[in-house]
Amino acid sequence: MFALAAGLFFPFWILFVNDFGGSIEQFGFSVGLLALGQAVTAYVVGKHSDRIGRKVFCWQPALF
């Protein structure tokens, strides 16, 4: 699911960063921050889903 979203999102992300006057280095930094955020979220949610159960985390995104 993430690969599909990233495939649709990342080609336009460079245009978005460039529109705000960013460079290729800032684009790389922003992609790195996105990956870091995903890694931290996956670790925290994975740790809690082992204790609580994964069903809680499956229906929560549907509320937003």
Residue pLDDT, tens place only, 12-51: 888 888 898 988 899 899 889 988 998 998 898 888 887 8
Residue 34 lies in a domain: no
Query: Domain total for the chain?
Result: 1
Residue 48 lies in a domain: yes
Residue 46 lies in a domain: yes
Residue 9 lies in a domain: yes
Please say whether the beta carbons of 4 and 22 come within 8 A.
no
| Burial of 2 from C-beta contacts in 10 A (0-12 / 13-18 / 19+) | exposed
pTM of the full structure: 0.64
Q: How far is CA 57 from CA 34, 47, 61, in A?
A: 20, 11, 7
Residue 47 lies in a domain: yes
Residue 33 lies in a domain: no
Residue 35 lies in a domain: no
Of 20 and 64, the one with more pLDDT: 20
What domain range is 18 assigned to? 2-27+40-63
- Per the rule left: phi > 0, alpha: psi between -120 and 50, beta: everything else, 45 is alpha
How far, rounded to the nearest angstrom, does the alpha carbon of residue 16 sit from its chain's CA centroid? Answer: 16
